[in-house]
Amino acid sequence: MNIEKYDYEVQTLNNELLTNRGSMSNSYINACNRFLRKAKSVDDPSLLGYAYYHLADAYYLVSTDYRKFNTNLLKAIEYLQYSGDKEYLARCYNLLGIDSLNHGSPDLALDYFLTGIKFCDGLENSGVPGFLEFNIGQIYYESGNIKQALKSIQSAYKNIRRNEKESLYYRNILYCYCFEADCYMQLNKPDSVKKCLMAIDRLEQNPKVNQEYISGDSAITAADIRARGYYFIGDMVNFQKYVSKLLKMIQNNKYPLDNMEDIFGMCRFLIRIGWVDEVVRIVKNTERSLNDLNIHNLKKEHAKLKCELYESIGNKAERVKALEEFYRYSIEQEKERQANYKFFTELRYKLSNMEKENITLQKQATTDSLTGLGNRYGLNKYADCAFEKAYSEGKSLAVEIMDVDNFKNFNDTYGHQAGDDCLTHIAGVIKELSDKNKSIHGFRYGGDEFVIIYEDMTDDEVMNYARVIREKVIEKHIDNKDSDLGIVTVSQGIRNSIPRKANKLWDYMYAADNALYEVKRNSKGEVVLLHKAVISQKSLDDATHI
């Protein structure tokens, strides 16, 4: 999504939106709604998809309204699928995966994350692959595969660092350090844990990130890892410092969804070291946040924690109540899972149909209706990629312009239907050749002009293929009394060379057109290949003729 191509008002509203997101402000939802109103007035699918994504993101980060979260996320996917915005489609699937994890469906979550990664193919300078890898690492961690979880988080860290402009960049880096430290604790590597704690310290001291770092769920996550990490390496002074800070935050205040698993983990840690009185207070306070969230999987996990707590202190009556809660929420969570699978199935079906429609529309948009070859739009779209590939790999690229000799007279003599049939036959020759060789791509440029792109071929190879086209057209024996041969012939001009950095399709088209002009001026029905754009005696002497 390139916001810079939109007007000043859109850019201003976007800056406001991202500022509120970066600070995790409650105004984030209002900023998203203002942006959405503007997107609707512009009626731009890309902008609408972007707006609905951020509104869904806002409902996830700063609200508990999951109906609105799902509704807006689905709208975002529909618009983004239509506009082909792969990065924000990947972000949508990342959110769907996180939501599935929260509802106790890791299998669904993994499918969402892997789908998101597919959309990341070709994305440059994007941290989105890192978000997805981070969350896949969480699934590995929960399944007990700590080494694979560590690999995922290390790869995630590298990808997240690709885009420092991401609004929650430092928060995401912090989470990577925390998750990595957690993995090293599980793998019993104190030196590595110490390095992670030092990295968190350096991040906290960075003046750019201080305000973001100390606020909201980031602060709880960091204090949790620091408390457990310092205890693990035997630094009791820092353990006391951070466990006190953490308890102050979580014993009395409500906290967001993203912190629930951290808090459950911290409680189990405190039970192991005998701090059960603190856990009793945390467990009671947690119920307030859980009631707001109303996610049965988290309530079930909370009941499970209470079972462990009351068993550790020998309170049988409270343990029985907790077991009853666990059973009740397990039933509700199963219903929730079924609803999620239904939503997922309907979403997949709907998106599959949309994808088929988009493929059809894209094909129609890039295909010449008469000949079935690519049209001028398809040529421009393909050529951009072909030139970039040839330049980066240092390989040659040839562009041929071919037209039908005396086509205007042919049309005047035989009629427009015969003219259309003639073009269709010639296009068939090009298509037959390109179907057999994936390095050849043909397009109808307009009227009786065709453009053919040859990738990574020598002059001899290009000229041989050009000769095949010329001879196949002659073999069609399409009558044309204005031709010297009495049949339809074609003239071909080609430029073949390794592109320079600044070269684009137009540069090659200009040279090929000059070559075609030379053919038309001297001997129709021939082929000329040049290596430079400008016709000169030297370029003509160096040119290849057949």
| Lowest-confidence segment of 269-283, 409-423, 511-525 by average pLDDT | 511-525
pLDDT digits (tens, 9 = 90+) for 181-237: 999 999 999 999 999 999 999 888 887 775 555 555 678 888 999 999 999 999 999
**28 Cβ contact partners less than 8 Å away, ≥ 6 residues apart:** 17, 20, 21, 58, 61, 62
Q: For 223-252, what is the mean pLDDT? A: 91
d(CA 427, CA 446) in angstroms, rounded, equals 12
Q: For 388-415, what is the mean pLDDT? A: 90
Mean pLDDT of the chain: 86
pLDDT value of residue 377 = 84
pLDDT value of residue 363 = 65
Query: Is pLDDT at 539 greater than 50 in this prediction?
Result: no
**527 Cβ contact partners less than 8 Å away, ≥ 6 residues apart:** 463, 466, 467, 470, 491, 492, 493, 494, 519, 544, 545, 546
Query: Is pLDDT at 262 greater than 90 in this prediction?
Result: no
Tokens of 462: 């290009």
Q: For 132-148, what is the mean pLDDT? A: 94
d(CA 417, CA 437) in angstroms, rounded, equals 30
Place of tokens 């600070």: 23
SS3 374: strand
Query: Is 376-545 a CATH 3.60.15.10 domain?
Result: no
Exposure class string for 94-109: b at 16+ Cβ within 10 A, else e: bbbbbbbbbbbbbebb
Query: Is pLDDT at 545 greater than 60 in this prediction?
Result: no
Tokens of 203: 């991040």
Best CA proximity match to 375, nearest among 367, 365, 387: 367
Query: Is pLDDT at 71 greater than 80 in this prediction?
Result: yes
pLDDT value of residue 428 = 95
| Lowest-confidence segment of 177-186, 352-361, 501-510 by average pLDDT | 352-361
d(CA 421, CA 328) in angstroms, rounded, equals 73
Instruction: Answer with the residue of higher pLDDT: 192 or 287.
Output: 192
Instruction: Answer with the residue of higher pLDDT: 339 or 133.
Output: 133
Tokens of 388: 């970039």
Instruction: Answer with the residue of higher pLDDT: 22 or 395.
Output: 395
- The ranges assigned to domains in the chain are 1-84, 188-278, 294-357, 376-545
Question: How far, CA to CA in Å, does 297 sit from each of 38, 99, 201?
Answer: 37, 11, 34
d(CA 170, CA 161) in angstroms, rounded, equals 9
Q: For 288-299, what is the mean pLDDT? A: 80
- What does the DSSP 8-state code read for residue 482? T
Judge if pTM exceeds 0.85: no
SS3 39: helix
pLDDT value of residue 191 = 96
d(CA 373, CA 419) in angstroms, rounded, equals 16
Percent of the chain at pLDDT above 70?
A: 91
At 310, phi and psi to the nearest 5?
Answer: -70, -25
pLDDT value of residue 503 = 72
397 CA to centre of own chain: 29
- List strand residue ranges (DSSP E) for 44-89, in order: none
